[in-house]
Structure 1
Amino acid sequence: MQQQDFGFGTQIRKSPYFDATVRWGAQGFSVYNHMYIPRDFGDPEQNFWNLVNDAILCDVAVERQVEITGPDAARFTQMLTPRDLSNMSVGQCKYVLITNAEGGILNDPILLKLGENHFWLSLADSDILLWAQGVAVHAGMDVSISEPDVSPLQLQGPKSGEIMQALFGPEIMDLRYYWFREMELGGIPLIVSRTGWSSELGYEIYLRDSAHGDALWEHIMAVGAPLG
């Protein structure tokens, strides 16, 4: 690990893992969804081989969540996307497109269904929270739209399964692709999904209390270090 000096503006949000990423060698950041995201951990070729051969842990708290709840949440969520959600089950994820009135793509988030009328949109880079709140004004539906205290990590690579078993036990290997479970790790509330940005085996770990960001990062790194 190495210490770096950076200058950051207060108008851009830091993730709960920010200090940990700096301790573990982050050398450059960019801005995504009005937050800092680490982009440079040194040699990019070595980082690639770490992903392909072992596993990497990524701070993706910039995938900010839009939470949709209320009696009409399912109808409202369906209105936001052309993808058919009628057969979506609680505990399932789906890749969806959020479109405007002309069919233009505004965002391509992962949708998580936490209850029959409880959804998260795990966003790419655009202000869909404001868009959804604006759409809801004249939708005539009983919905509540907000940003929950949720900060995702991604654990990606062929050894991610071994690390997840060490963290959560062998039953985690039963988690199907694009499904999730509500879990805890040392009392830290999480949602764990079998999703990710890479083409390797991977998981997303959604922290549900930002106060535990540093502890969660360090725990995963400590468990993962012996496994590469």
Structure 2
Amino acid sequence: MTENYTALYEEHKKLGASFTDFGGWQMPLKYGSELAEHKAVRNAAGIFDLSHMGEVWVTGPDAAAFLDYALAGKISAMAVGKAKYSLICNEEGGIIDDLIVYRRGNEKFLVVPNAGNAKVVAEALVQRAANFDVAVEDVSAETSLIAVQGPKAEGILLRLVPAAQHELVTGLKYYAAVEVSFLVGGAERSLLLARTGYTGEDGFEIFVENDDATALWQSIVAIADEGELTPCGLASRDSLRLEAGMPLYGNELSLEGDPFAAGLGPVVALSKEGDFVGKAALAAKKEAGAGATTGRKLVGLKGLGRRAGRGHYPVLKDGNVVGEVTSGQPSPTLGYPVAMAYVDVACAEPGTALDIDLRGKAEPFEVVTLPFYKRSK
């Protein structure tokens, strides 16, 4: 697989990061203690490099109608300035990727797919655009993305924003975005600031051109007080998103899975006018009771012991295999093991006692409602 490096790679090396391959990118796994990074986000703030994510602009008179056709959600119903979580599916209803769409104008949208799927999603959008008056531009290679997540994130970023624009930041709702001026390396830069994230905490994601990414990262780190902001890698991002019950493509979501089994039925707008890619197959899956009365359903599992289940470990009921773990590890915040797993719908009711087969030893778990962790507002 080709190794890609973000514009912040040298910055991570200076900070002593341990690297790992993720979606073909060399990304920081952790800088020191992944537990300390996790707790920093829950209690103060963490800064993440998410530049491996994709960015695809969709513009033109038919942009909204095109995205209604290309994606599973009703994108045309979005207000300008808002963001929406959606799915791009194939004709069989399989999930190509989960992504976020930002509406930046009546005819202007930014689609942000996952790292390993960015090229596939961009190509699928180009193919689906054939009969629409739209332009699809993949700017992933020129764009960096920096996230600041945690209860102190807003306060830190406000120090880099002119006082006249503070209300743009403090008034920004969850799943919304706005252009804001940031002081970056001594110069003002107008950047797209989104109140989105993947940690279960309040936080922001900032889109910036590669040339300004290092200066922005350094400016954010420099403006934070001692101990207020911690550089965080993929390890803590994974434990944070698991506690928040957020699916990861390749674990909870895949081409073989379907949105209804994954609990993402509300994301699929079967009632929107006109056709969309995968509509017939998805309607048939829903009609057949996928994730409700047939097949398997994604659930949360709370460990009653100390040992954690991991991805692909079998889930048992009375010694019989009834499911499989997709993600699992000890929860740093809650102090007990947590996992997400697909289990037979008959075993999916909260309170159901199940076991995870930990290499030949059955460890007790209980089905619980997701998310495991929800921040107090």
Partner SS for 2:52: coil
Alpha-carbon distance in structure 1 between the residues aligned to 2:227 and 2:204: 16
Deviation of 1:159 (Å): 1.0
Higher relative contact order (CA 8 A, sep 6+): 1
The answer to whether structure 1 residue 53 and structure 2 residue 46 are counterparts is no
Q: What runs of 5+ residues in structure 2 fail to find an aligned partner?
A: 229-377
Deviation of 1:202 (Å): 0.8
The answer to whether structure 1 residue 185 and structure 2 residue 182 are counterparts is yes
Partner SS for 2:81: coil
Question: Is 1:159–1:227's contact at 8 Å kept on the other side of the alignment?
Answer: no
Question: Is 1:163–1:227's contact at 8 Å kept on the other side of the alignment?
Answer: no
The code of the aligned residue for 1:164 comes to: L
TM-score (norm 1): 0.88
Alpha-carbon distance in structure 2 between the residues aligned to 1:78 and 1:150: 25
Q: How large is the RMSD of aligned CA atoms in angstroms?
A: 1.7
TM-score (norm 2): 0.54
Query: Which is richer in strand?
Result: 2
Pairing partner for 2:96 from 93, 102, 106: 106
Q: In the TM superposition, what whole-angstrom CA distance separates every residue of 1:40-81 from its partner, at most 9, and x where no partner exists?
A: 212111111111111110000111111111221111111111
Alpha-carbon distance in structure 1 between the residues aligned to 2:89 and 2:189: 35
Alpha-carbon distance in structure 2 between the residues aligned to 1:36 and 1:69: 31
Alpha-carbon distance in structure 1 between the residues aligned to 2:220 and 2:205: 12
Alpha-carbon distance in structure 1 between the residues aligned to 2:21 and 2:198: 18
The code of the aligned residue for 1:214 comes to: T
Alpha-carbon distance in structure 1 between the residues aligned to 2:194 and 2:61: 25
The answer to whether structure 1 residue 175 and structure 2 residue 172 are counterparts is yes
- What is the aligned partner in structure 2 of residue 147 from structure 1? 138
The code of the aligned residue for 1:195 comes to: T
Alpha-carbon distance in structure 2 between the residues aligned to 1:77 and 1:211: 30
Deviation of 1:227 (Å): 6.2
Count of residue pairs brought into register by the alignment: 215
Equivalence map 1:74-85=2 (5 Å): 74-85=64-75
Q: In the TM superposition, what whole-angstrom CA distance separates every residue of 1:179-224 from its partner, at most 9, and x where no partner exists?
A: 11012213223100110001111110111x2111111110010012
Divergent runs of 4+, >6 A: none
Pairing partner for 1:12 from 3, 19, 27: 3
Partner SS for 2:170: helix
- What is the aligned partner in structure 1 of residue 215 from structure 2? 215
Identity %: 28
Equivalence map 1:188-199=2 (5 Å): 188-199=189-200
The answer to whether structure 1 residue 206 and structure 2 residue 246 are counterparts is no
